[in-house]
Structure 1
């Protein structure tokens, strides 16, 4: 269930972390639909650090990580979380490149990906939480 927003979503300013206006344009400016999608994404985003930690370990299957990152990239783009979508795209590309080279990412590279994705996820979670509470732009 979507939370009521005290200010219209069209008044939420675009930031480097969250582009609500762009996301709304993609779904025909349907604010109720955006709020429903954003609420579901918010739950997924809350679980992101643990999911990333589990998937980006030296003994984890890189194909599982790539599939998850690809899916989460698309979800992020849907709500306008473009910075996180870009971070997922970059992580997905690094994993694919290492696979194409017949290698695996080392512990340091995996830790850097986990850290970067988690930090971007935290910023996105904060921005999206503000939008869902109706405080952004107010």
Structure 2
């Protein structure tokens, strides 16, 4: 049986992927940003293991170190993301930094945490992404950069 670590399983593409993988009998390790979201994920994906770790927190790596990674992971699926729409002239630095933290820095930290388990299973890392990185539209600067 395969095991998949998924961010963003509470909604959108992440939720759809988690539902499909669970339906075929795979095991899930889901990242929840807080206890409320963790409870929602437990109710939706009863057999899933849930790790509460906020991708928007600069303390993410320390939080992950409190949890033991599985022995093997067949995939890490980065489906969580945030977008702050604003013209560059009006984009607060904090919004830009928050977007980079959630969409870029935290996936790197999470992948590093999971790397031994991925290597053990010869697993894959999947980033659910957007074409905004290739062709940014007005007001999408921070998202496209991330």
TM-score, reference length from structure 1: 0.30
**Greater length-normalized contact order (CA 8 Å, ≥ 6 residues apart):** 1
State the TM-score, normalized to the length of structure 2.
Answer: 0.29
Q: Higher strand fraction: Structure 1 or Structure 2?
A: 2
